[in-house]
């Protein structure tokens, strides 16, 4: 049968090891890239815990400082708000907190995308 295929198609069925080697090499490269990417992502998580983002509300009367890993580190309230009612103060705190968390999320997404492109962009059929 192999001889018939060879005579009909001009190729031998026994010479497929080249494509296996290429696939094996590609899988090996992908695994190496995955390991390096995971290491860099872990490093990023550690770095983000030391990065601060801040947001304000009420024209700067309330400021919330969060870390890049989305933990609230500090809330600063201006003395000028001491006469405000509690509901207004809570609204200002919530608005500033939500904005700070959104900034932390965007920062993490940006850094994660950079790392992903660094490693996935080097693999065939993954890069732009």
Q: The CATH number of the domain where 112 resides is what?
A: 3.30.1310.10
pLDDT band at residue 26 using 50, 70 and 90 as cut-offs? confident
In a domain, 20, yes or no: no
In a domain, 14, yes or no: no
Residue 60 three-state SS? coil
In a domain, 26, yes or no: no
R_g of the chain computed on alpha carbons: 27
**pLDDT tens digits, one per residue of 73-122:** 999 999 998 888 999 999 999 999 999 999 999 999 999 999 988 887 76
**Does 2 map to a domain?**
no
- Structural domain boundaries enclosing 68: 51-119
pLDDT one-digit tens code per residue, 49-76: 999 999 999 999 999 999 999 999 999 9
Q: Which two tokens stand for residue 104?
A: 């932390």
Could you tell me if residue 94 is inside a domain?
A: yes
CA distance linking residue 41 with residue 66, whole number of Å = 20
């Amino acid at each position: 049968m192999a001889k018939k295929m060879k005579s009909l198609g001009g190729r031998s069925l026994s010479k497929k090891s080249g494509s296996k080697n290429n696939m094996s090499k590609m899988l090996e490269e992908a695994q190496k890239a995955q390991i390096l990417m995971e290491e860099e992502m872990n490093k990023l998580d550690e770095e983000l815990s030391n990065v601060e983002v801040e947001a304000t509300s009420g024209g700067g009367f309330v400021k919330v400082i969060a870390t890049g890993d989305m933990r609230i580190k500090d809330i600063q309230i201006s003395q000028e708000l001491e006469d405000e009612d509690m509901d207004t103060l809570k609204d200002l705190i919530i608005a500033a907190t939500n904005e700070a968390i959104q900034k932390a999320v965007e920062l993490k997404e940006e850094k994660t995308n950079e790392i992903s492109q660094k490693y996935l962009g080097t693999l065939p059929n993954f890069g732009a």
